[in-house]
A = this chain, B = another copy of it.
Amino acid sequence: MTARTVQLVLHYDGTAFAGWQLQPEQRTVQGEVERVLAGLCGHRVVAQGAGRTDAGVHARGQAVGVQVPEKWTAPNLRRALNALLPDDVWVAAAHEMRPEFHARFSATSRRYAYQVGTDEAARSPFRRKTEWAYRHPLRREWLDESAALLLGEHRFIGFAVRGTAPPTDSHRCTVLEARWLDRPGGLTFIIEANRFLHHMVRFLVGTMLDQASGKRAATAVSDLLIAETNDEVSPPAPAHGLTLERVTYPAEMYLP
């Protein structure tokens, strides 16, 4: 049976989902997408996500690989999915990919944004689902300094969930971009890396804010970047401030 390999680029509001990954008895994004795909294709189609977002984490660029019957061109599949998916998931784009495309393993980088709301209105219903309302005064320049330290290759053992992997090369990530942007009402932390460890962005944001608010020493982030355990990491920033913004693939993975 001929099939097409399609990359779907998804937006979702993570509020009402138990995360990306399929779980029995839970409403997950993968579960919703696979349910609709099965109806369109007449059989189960695995929706392979580039990254497993946690419960409450949002996406404006989750990449999902699917193998669908020949009759489903990328634009038609996108339209059909958007007509059938629930309101909190939307297919922003669909691209036909080479057969060897794998949403997770072919990715060269992922980009996340973490929104921190520093004014009172961060608790407004229009912002509370996507921003962490954080009301402690911050030394703004410390955030810039912490972000700059993250650039390049590090073993992020200090910012990884404990016991998820032995302290070897499996913790090695290369950070391509890391910076704090000012915006009305708050700050946005942008980070792009070849890969991320589980909860890594939320641990980084939690620790950077603890440091910049004076709750922790000015060396907290730099110490953790060379630590061999995560004993000293701050609690992770809440899931709802985090958005998976983009997943990048080599140009040659796209069919012309």
Contact = CB atoms under 8 A, between A and B. Distances in A.
Contact of A123 (B12, B82, B121, B124): B82
Nearest to A121: B92
Interface residues of A, number: 19
A125 interface: yes
A92 B11 contact: no
A241 B90 CA distance: 19
Interface in A83-121: 87-90, 92, 120-121
B92 A128 contact: no
A14 to B, nearest CB: 9
B87 A12 contact: no
Contacts of A60: 124, 126
A123 B88 CA distance: 10
Contact of A89 (B11, B87, B125): B125
Interface of A: 11-13, 58, 60, 82, 87-90, 92, 120-121, 123-126, 128, 130
6 contacts: A11-B126, A60-B126, A89-B125, A90-B123, A90-B125, A92-B124
